[in-house]
Chain A
Amino acid sequence: MFKPLASMLLQIVVVLLAAPLLSGIIKKMKAMIQHRKGAPILQLYFDLFKLFRKDVVISETASWIFTAAPYIYFVSVLGAIIFVPVIPQLFSYGFFGDAILVVYLLALSRFFLTLAALDTGSTFGGMGSSREMVISSLMEPSLIIVVFTLAASPRVQSTGFQAMYEGSAELGSGIISPVYLLLLAAVVIVLIAETARIPVDDPATHLELTMVHEAMILEYSGRYLALMEYGSALKQLLFISIIVNIFMPFGLGGGIIVTLLLYLLKICIVAVVVGLIEINTVKFRLFSVPNLAAMSLMLALLGFMSGFIFGR
């Protein structure tokens, strides 16, 4: 009874602490490469702390959805991340959640995010939600194909994350195979699109023509904004955790502390890679995003094919 509770608490504490740090690292790295000094790495913590204490301003036309959405968004993302432990040792919950549940918990959070953006009736909100829905519906097929490919591989045979982690860990250095490389490339594209990173959406802009995620949370202030920002940071950490644990299963054998430190190192590496991609690409036109989605879908599909029709 005690151990599942403790590991879940540890999981929640780790993700809540690590998520803003990850955003900070990406921002700092971008700034350093552009020869700027940049905000401190801990900036998002300060911002969140400040926002949680500030007053909330709500539009007169807003309904209850507007006030409920931040909580639903935050809680459903947090709920999703509980099923994706940061290290395999934390798999000892009394209950069982699989990858499909995680994907659709994220879909639930997105649904309320877009609904809340539509609620106040501002033009930017509507524009942002319609774009977000287009992008997410384009990215969902490739994510699902990746999940199914991982789940159906002979070592795993389950859609649960525990089996997937164990399957990857068993594979060891055999993870550097065409199948996993293709799936990794597909997941990285999904990560970029889902977490509103540069080729798809610019997290640092409020230019009305280009923003997607920012347009949706434009009306929020105070603690609601803090919850939205925190939720987005958590979502980013969730995708990076999946990448780190399934595609980089190295050195998972040690104790909890060592593995946790190694995990932090790995997510920092992924953050640096994401930052590098951001610096080296320009933001796509919205109508070019389907090209990226087609690429991701193709990579996932080829991974699936080379895993099952040929090879193995």
Chain B
Amino acid sequence: MELSYILRICSMTILISSFALVASKRVMTYIRAFRLQSALLAAIAAIFTVYHLVEEGRLEGVAFILLLTVVLKVFYIPSLLRKISLKVEYKVEKDFFVNIPISIIICCGLVVLNWFVVSKIPELNGTPGGNYLVQSLSVVLIGLFFMISRKKAIGQIIGFLVIENGMFLTAMLMTSGMPMIVEFGIFFDLLTAVLIMGIFVFRINETFEHIDINKLRNLRG
């Protein structure tokens, strides 16, 4: 089987996993869905690593990215978020602004929108690249939608991470990986962002006694 064929299937499964994320109701479920998505992303990175090793005989760039993805996104960040969500006591019963069937349909609409936008670019029309671009951009948009449709602060963090996953996917599929230094920069940005947001969730919870972002508009002395 040729590479582009496998990659098409992998990127489609990543798109589906972001739908699974949108369909999940509880915090633990969407942390798990995020972990699954990151694992799939790591699988794509692994395919690229093997490809580089076999075709060009060098082992750099993508291999480090693979390592970082596995360590940070598959293990460290999900377990960190899990810990935070266990410590923070929830007072929000319903976590979403739009109910799940409608949000799935909205996300489907986002994919269709992407399809039409990308099909307007003549260079990409009908090529595997165009296909990847649709799928990875859809992951970015779905992450954005996830961020605005959830009430709990942890949902926002996950949405942010999904946006990053989508951009990472775009970079990897379209250009077979950004320069390593850029990747490192993004990863450490991401890590500090998640850590800071995690501490923020704690502080919000201490100050307001809940993490429902809907109620953060009220002022507290």
Contacts and interface: CB of A to CB of B under 8 A. Distances in A.
A295 B15 CA distance: 13
B100 A291 contact: yes
Interface in B95-125: 100-101, 104-105, 107-108, 111-112, 115, 119
Contacts of B126: 310-311
Interface residues of B, number: 24
A222 interface: no
A305 interface: yes
B191 interface: no
B177 interface: no
A306 B105 CA distance: 16
B53 interface: no
Interface stretch (A107-115, A146-154, A176-184, A232-240): A176-184
Given A291-B101, A293-B101, A295-B104, A178 B19 contact: no
Interface string A145-187: 0000000000000000000000000000000111001100100
A291 B104 contact: yes
Given A181-B9, A182-B12, A295-B23, A310 B104 contact: no
B28 interface: no
A178 B5 CA distance: 9
Most buried by A among B13, B15, B101: B101
Nearest to B8: A178
Interface stretch (A1-9, A25-33, A34-42, A296-304): A296-304
Interface in A55-72: none
Interface string A274-312: 000000000000001011011100110110011001110
13 contacts: A177-B9, A181-B13, A290-B101, A291-B100, A293-B101, A294-B23, A295-B104, A298-B107, A299-B16, A302-B15, A305-B111, A310-B134, A311-B126
**Which 8 A-B pairs have CB atoms at the shortest separation, nearest pair first?**
A294-B101, A178-B12, A294-B104, A291-B100, A298-B108, A290-B101, A298-B104, A309-B115
Interface of A: 176-178, 181-182, 185, 288, 290-291, 293-295, 298-299, 301-302, 305-306, 309-311
